[in-house]
Structure 1
């Protein structure tokens, strides 16, 4: 049962960015902040977009969006952001069965991400997450709003903060995304920016992918 109803989207921008040494959401790639790139890439794929962040977000002029923090900053990490996204969907989009999440640090994620994930949803409580040749990308996922209370209990009870642990608990569906063929060879669309060197590499790929 592929999803047919509206799916709200959330950009997860609450990470500590310890390896980068600064807030990755504000880094600029090709002159555009990573958070703005994520928003613009996600927006055509979902019914609405909001941002999960534990501090102020500087949007591009005229592109301001709703921002909400983790429910419990002491139990942060990606699953804390997912829980906040589910809470936001439950409050603001009661018609939605699932919410789509993406991070800010993979600026080239597929433009058909949400459509392909939705086709893997076969029950109202099924999680669907992305995978590529480089491995799983569990923060790129569709999350059932019905699992909000379960996730809250998992975190409150000391459950592992590792996203894959929670996905395994619920037998999430992995959706394989192929590499993008370019003039420079195959490229993983989930290329992740964690370090200054990664940002330099992304600048080089940007010229290839967007020319």
Structure 2
């Protein structure tokens, strides 16, 4: 029976629309990369952070605080190639099994949706995800070779990659879980709105 071997936080992107590194934005006083790693470690045995260029590792280690010692940090082997490069780095470094992948601009993991996705591990699919959503999803480590092929072909579309793989598509049972999982902080307005929501009683 396959298992989920770790979580993967995709960080290290250019964050051009936000204007600052999204992984370092603070929510309730903690950087997003810390917040997400902590949520993953509550349910998974290990977590990795894809840092983008190697020089970003020290920045993320500092932001992770006491969680840094429980995390692996992987640098992109294909610089400036977007989230696909971080996905490849994380999958290639992980032990065999499924990896739960979340982007650093998705500020909250949905435990309910995670459990729903994990229920399909026995399917043997390459990827278990929700329609139109490449992250907050389970990827098998064997997909690393297909991701490398896409990068070598300079095809950086994650959804394009999914179209070439064996996938299971899950329809979230819980609308609140969908909203939680697929909230994205792409712009300063997104960040302000989410922060305000977290501050409300």
Matched, 1:80 2:85: yes
Aligned counterpart in structure 2 of residue 31 of structure 1, from 29, 40, 43: 29
Give the conservation status (yes or no) of the 8 Å contact 2:84–2:157.
Answer: yes
- Count of residues paired in the alignment: 191
Alignment match, 2:76 = 70
Unaligned runs of 5+ in 1: 182-186
For residues 169 and 6 of structure 1, do their structure 2 counterparts lie closer, same or farther at Cα, with a shift above 3 Å needed? closer
Alignment match, 2:136 = 140
How far did residue 165 of structure 1 move?
A: 0.7
Aligned counterpart in structure 2 of residue 176 of structure 1, from 165, 171, 194: 171
Unaligned runs of 5+ in 2: none
Residues 161-172 of structure 1: pairs in structure 2 closer than 5 A: 161-172=156-167
SS at match of 1:68: strand
How far did residue 117 of structure 1 move?
A: 1.4
How far did residue 5 of structure 1 move?
A: 2.5
Aligned counterpart in structure 2 of residue 205 of structure 1, from 180, 189, 197: 197
Alignment match, 1:104 = 104
Give the conservation status (yes or no) of the 8 Å contact 2:38–2:67.
Answer: no
Matched, 1:42 2:40: yes
How far did residue 61 of structure 1 move?
A: 2.7
For residues 122 and 24 of structure 1, do their structure 2 counterparts lie closer, same or farther at Cα, with a shift above 3 Å needed? same
Matched, 1:59 2:63: yes
For residues 171 and 202 of structure 1, do their structure 2 counterparts lie closer, same or farther at Cα, with a shift above 3 Å needed? same
C-alpha distance after superposition, 1:36-81 (max 9, x if no partner): 111111112222011101213133431212211111114x211111
Alignment match, 1:184 = none
For residues 176 and 45 of structure 1, do their structure 2 counterparts lie closer, same or farther at Cα, with a shift above 3 Å needed? farther
Deviating runs (4+, > 4 A) in structure 1?
Answer: none
RMSD: 2.1
